[in-house]
């Protein structure tokens, strides 16, 4: 299953943000462990990419360094189309507790 992630990165002032979004696979799913992909937003902050099932670190580079925005998990329960904000808030990865 795949999840399409699309929307716009907007600054606090309501302006589109030109940035690089880095996605790194941190758990075996449909993606190769530790593989990464980068998506560059459009001039208006727009982005559109597809994620396979798995656990991913999502980082955003605005000026000159990446900032980890969260770790997400996508699987069959993930809606087919989601914004980056919804992905980071609704599908936040919670590591299992080992006792």
pLDDT in tens, 6-17: 999 999 999 999
Is 25 within a domain?
yes
Please name which of 31, 44, 38 lies closest in space to residue 73, comparing C-alpha atoms. Answer: 31
Domain containing residue 69: CATH number = 2.60.40.10
Residue 52 burial (CB count, 10 A): 15
| Mean pLDDT estimate for the chain | 91
Is 98 within a domain?
no
Is 9 within a domain?
yes
Better-predicted residue by pLDDT, 78 or 32: 78
DSSP state of 57: E
Is 96 within a domain?
no
Percent of residues, the chain, with pLDDT higher than 70 = 96
Question: What pLDDT is attached to residue 76?
Answer: 87
Is 27 within a domain?
yes
Statement: residue 52 has pLDDT above 80: yes
Handedness of CA 69, 75, 80, 86 (dihedral sign): negative
Structural domain count, the chain: 1
Question: What pLDDT is attached to residue 27?
Answer: 82
Question: What pLDDT is attached to residue 51?
Answer: 92
Which structural domain, as residue segments, surrounds residue 65? 2-90
Is 99 within a domain?
no
Phi, psi of 64 (to 5 degrees): -135, 5
Is 95 within a domain?
no
Question: What pLDDT is attached to residue 58?
Answer: 96
């Amino acid at each position: 299953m795949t999840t399409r992630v699309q929307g716009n990165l907007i600054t606090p002032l309501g302006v589109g943000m030109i940035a690089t979004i880095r996605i790194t696979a941190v758990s075996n799913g449909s993606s190769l462990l530790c593989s990464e992909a980068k998506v560059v937003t459009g001039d208006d902050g727009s982005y559109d990419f597809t994620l396979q099932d798995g656990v991913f670190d999502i980082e955003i580079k605005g000026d000159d360094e990446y900032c980890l925005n969260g770790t997400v998990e996508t699987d069959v329960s993930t809606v087919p189309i989601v914004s980056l904000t919804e992905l980071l808030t609704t599908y936040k990865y919670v590591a299992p507790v080992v006792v």
